[in-house]
Amino acid sequence: MNLLAELRSRFATALESLDGADLSDMVLPSQDPKFGDYQANCAMPLGKRLGRPPREIATELVEKLGVADLCEPPEIAGPGFINLRVKTARIAELVGDALVDEHRLGVPTATEPRNIVLDYSSPNVAKPMHVGHIRSTVIGDALAQVLKFLGHKVITDNHIGDWGTQFGMIVYGYKNFGDDAKLAEAPVGELTRLYRFVNSLVDYHALRTKKIPEAELAIDQQQLAVEKLSSEPVPEDQKAQKKAAKKLRQAEGLLNDCRSDLVALQQKLVDAENDEQLISVAKEHADIGQKVLAETAALHAGDEENVALWKRFLPACLAEMDAIYERLNVSFDHTLGESHYHDQLAETIASLEEQGLVKVSDGAKCVFLEGQDAPFIVQKRDGAFLYATTDLATIKYRVENWQPDALLYVVDHRQSLHFEHLFATTKLWGEKDTRLKDLELEHISFGTVLGEDGKPYKTRSGTAVGLSGLLDEAIQRALAIVSENDDARAEPLLSAEERQTVADRIGIGAIKYADLAHNRTSDYVFSYDKMLAMTGNTAAYMQYSYARVSSIFGKAGVDRQQLRTSNPTIDLNTPAERSLALALLQFSEALTRVASDYRPNHLTSYLFELASKYSSFFSECPVLKAESDELRTSRLALCDLTARTLSRGLELLGIEVVERM
RNA sequence: GCGCUUGUAGCUCAAUUGGAUAGAGCACUGGUCUUCGAAACCAGGGGUUGUAGGUUCGAGUCCUACCAGGCGCGCCA
């Protein structure tokens, strides 16, 4: 049972006669135990609405409220808060129910299941995945698991970039530097080599002919801007003075940024020029940038050779990507990338045009949106399609094939304007199509992963940190910690093999948990030390908590299955036991909260709190040496349900537990 | 210039979407192991929620202005 949902429904009934049924959501868990377990705050707004004293309303509500089976008599406090304390005997019964509920642990399924398409991860294939892909992948996967567990139909779709310039690079690389023998032997390695090599060639030329000159120009312009600002006469009034000073400061800051950008670019150029092999090849491929684009364009135009190469290379690229997903223990129902939609793009434009949504501006086909300065460009001047076009076609495809109620995109916050445009265009496009019109479209936005210096997490040379190496390092550090702790024991617990397994789970878990525990909308600082700490709100602590609970069953020598089905009497006579039991019943509330605003950090907070309550219980209440057999059994039952709740909760977050660590 | 977003304890972050005295974890100070994993527990100090106004029974949360950062703004994805 979901206690909160049940109480809200009881309140909804009581509120009806007062014309306040919409206020039942104002029943909430109490912040402070002295106000009971739950509190209803609806009397205050209702009092205002009806022009009557809130306490009077509260009294009336309490009289109408039927909760005698669940709660002690409600108390009215302060301006009109109604405080509810769940009957301890009822908590005990409900724990008993959860205990025998093998898979769901007492969590009811959603009363109105929805059909939800979840779009997340979406890397470019052929390019190695990097730190920027973590959040989308991890948050998306956790949301998928939680929504599924709550009984929604979830379709996950990895909208990979498999049709872009990176394939032009590989094709060009294969045609000019390819090695068929290596390709046959180790396709992933060879394709990665080709991508990296061509990319560095393109980059080298871009640095010389474009990036560095542009950076120099930017410095000149910025320099001028600074000079102009500093030569302007000082304004009379103070406000204008401050504003001018601020502008100057900002311009100078920008100038500094430009300068350090140039230094970084020049350093990259020097590095490249020290690579003799690269330079000699680069000279023979001076127009490589254009050639790569030409190969990409040929692919898009259906050039037989390039399409054949694309088909030949794609499986290896996917395999490389899947290797990472396997390490992360993430999978998708569908992987329909950009290439899947390329033959639907022309008809997408035609359909938009048919509805009179398209205007040609500067030669490009645009959808102009109310309240937006910039148009949504759906076809370029040269006739090529864009990201926007593919996204529209994708929405149409998903709607036609999967009939979703909601379409969720787990994508970083920088694309919020794109999604605003995309969603607005979709609604216009769907004016006559109720499937589109009623669709919930949501951008599940998240912040940037920062380094410990507070800047976007990059390697020293300024490139994105590879995901694979990131996982390696976390696991390696976890192994060191696990080994050190185990060596410190009088008798080490773990074999070398077991240590490695534990380190894998702790390392991967640490990265995932650190990400999920933060409110996704804010940026967060990536720190191995913090995420791998054995204390505090970390995966390692949660996994430790689980291992500690679990170890008790071996010592007790009980059959857990039998313990559950023997219908034990749950005894909650101490505050620690009661508090733990109530927390166990609130698992479903935490999950509902995650689903309501698509934020997994509600679940991490819940699990951490549960673990803390278990710790208090464990230090205050002897389990194996309880005063009586009945009490021992009751406490073992609490341990069992705690272990299962922790494990299931972590599982929904994509984190595996270990029995010993 | 316009738009979005963030600002909470020394540090990293919460705050159930407008609820009661703003909470955790690190770090710091004290206490608790001849009993189940002390990787723990208990207690304590630490705050003008960026600033100034406003809305109301009640504001970290909503509105206005300002300050400071991040991101974005027509043919990349």
Q: Distance (Å) from CA A89 to C1' B23?
A: 30
Which nucleotide is closest, CA of A546 to its C1'? B37
Average pLDDT of the residues of chain A: 92
Mean pLDDT of A598-606: 96
Burial of A63 (0-12, 13-18, 19+ CB in 10 A): exposed
Answer with the residue of higher pLDDT: A260 or A167.
A167
How many percent of chain A have pLDDT more than 90? Answer: 75
Q: Domain A467-653 is of which CATH architecture?
A: Orthogonal Bundle (1.10)
pLDDT for res A75: 94
Note the pLDDT tens digit of each residue in A528-559. 999 999 999 999 999 999 999 999 999 998 99
Tell me, what DSSP letter sits at residue A344?
G
Whether the CB-CB separation of A76 and A55 falls below 8 Å is answered with yes
What number does CATH give the domain A3-86? 3.30.1360.70
Nearest nucleotide relative to A540: CA against C1': B39
Q: One-letter amino acid identity for A540?
A: A
pLDDT at A617: 96
Nucleotide nearest the Cα atom of A366 (by C1'): B74
pLDDT reading at A221 higher than 90: no
Predicted model pTM: 0.95
Q: How far is the CA of A370 from the C1' of B49 (A)?
A: 36
Question: For A561 and B54, how far is CA from C1' in angstroms?
Answer: 61
Q: Is A481 in contact with A494 (CB distance < 8 Å)?
A: no
Share of chain A above pLDDT 70, in %: 100
Reported for A46-52, long-range contacts at CB under 8 A and 24+ positions apart, including other chains, are A46/A15, A46/A18, A46/A20, A47/A80, A49/A19, A49/A20, A50/A18, A50/A19
- Contacts of A248 by beta carbon, 8 Å cutoff, 6+ apart: A226, A229, A230
- Edge-to-edge strands of the sheet including A75-77? A27-29, A38-40, A81-84, A75-77
User: What are A13-47's pLDDT values in tens digits?
Assistant: 999 888 888 899 999 999 888 899 999 999 999 98
Strand B nucleotides with an atom less than 7 Å from a protein beta carbon: 1-7, 12-17, 19-20, 24-27, 35-42, 56-58, 67-77
Query: Residues A378-383: what's their mean pLDDT?
Result: 94
The full DSSP string for A39-71 is: EE-THHHHHHHHTS-HHHHHHHHHHH---TTTB
Separation of A626 CA and B37 C1' (Å): 18
Query: A610 CA to B38 C1', in Å?
Result: 19
For residues A479 and A426, give the distance between their C-alpha atoms in angstroms, rounded to a whole number: 49
Measure A447 CA to B5 C1' (Å).
Answer: 9
CA distance A503 to A43: 52
Which tokens go with A141?
A: 């996967």
Write down the pLDDT at residue A322: 95
CA→C1' distance for A31 and B15 (Å): 10
Give kind and range of the element (H or E) at residue A323: helix A304-328
Q: Which two tokens stand for residue A643?
A: 């272990």
Q: Evaluate whether A440 touches A480 at the Cβ level (below 8 Å).
A: no
CA angle A321, A323, A328 (to 5 degrees): 100
Domain segments of chain A as ranges: 3-86, 120-162+319-450, 165-311, 467-653
ipTM of the complex: 0.96
The one-letter code for the residue type at A643 is A
Give the amino acid at A37: D
- Measured distance CA(A544)–CA(A291) in Å, rounded: 55
- The nucleotide whose C1' lies nearest the CA of A592 is B16
Q: Gap from A360 CA to B74 C1', in Å? A: 11
When pLDDT is averaged across residues A471-485 and rounded to a whole number, the result is 94
The mean pLDDT of A83-105, rounded to a whole number, is: 96
Q: What is the pLDDT of residue A285?
A: 93
* Average pLDDT, integer, range A389-415: 96
Contact partners, residue A255, CB within 8 Å, separation at least 6: A219, A222, A223, A225, A226
The CATH superfamily label for domain A120-162+319-450 reads HUPs (3.40.50.620)
> Residue A365 belongs to what H/E stretch?
strand A364-367
| A76 token code pair | 């009215």
Mean pLDDT in residue range A498-521 = 95
> Closest CA to B21 C1' — which residue?
A32
pLDDT of A267 above 80: yes
Q: Which residue has the tokens 């008809």?
A: A347
C1' (B69) to CA (A211) span, angstroms: 27
CA of A251 to C1' of B5 (A): 22
Q: How far, in Å, are A201, A210, A213, A264, A383 from residue A291 at the CA level?
A: 12, 16, 22, 27, 19
Q: What is the CA A104 to C1' B25 distance in angstroms?
A: 30
Residue A9's pLDDT band (cuts 50, 70, 90): very high
- Minimum mean pLDDT among A126-135, A138-147, A507-516: which range? A126-135
Residue A492 pLDDT? 87
Element of type H or E holding A155: strand A153-157
Measured CA to C1', the nucleotide nearest A380 is B75
Model pLDDT, residue A457: 86
Closest CA to A578 of A38, A4, A92, A68: A92
Q: Give the pLDDT confidence score for residue A68 in this predicted structure.
A: 94
Distance CA A483, CA A495 (A): 10
Burial A382-395 (b: 16+ CB within 10 A, else e): eeebbebbbbbbbb
Band (pLDDT 50/70/90 cuts) for residue A606 is very high
Q: What pLDDT, in 10s, does the model give residues A230-262?
A: 887 777 777 777 777 778 888 888 888 888 888
Q: What is the pLDDT of residues A404-456, one digit of tens each?
A: 999 999 999 999 999 999 999 999 998 888 888 889 999 999 999 998 888 88
Residue A503, number of CB atoms within 10 A of its CB: 23
Nucleotide nearest to A616 (CA to C1'): B41
Q: Residue A460 — left, alpha, or beta (φ > 0 → left; ψ -120 to 50 → alpha)?
A: alpha
What pLDDT does residue A19 have?
83
Q: Residue A436: its pLDDT value, please?
A: 86
Nearest residue to nucleotide B15 when comparing alpha carbons to its C1'?
Answer: A31
| Predicted local confidence at residue A453, as pLDDT | 80
The protein residue nearest B13 (Cα–C1') is: A518
Nucleotide closest in space to A46 (CA vs C1'): B57
Smallest CA–C1' separation from A42, nucleotide: B19
Q: How far apart (Å, rounded) are the C-alpha atoms in residues A307 and A298? A: 9
Kindly report, residue by residue over A487-501, the tens digit of the pLDDT: 888 888 899 999 999
- Give the residue whose CA sits closest to B37 at C1': A548
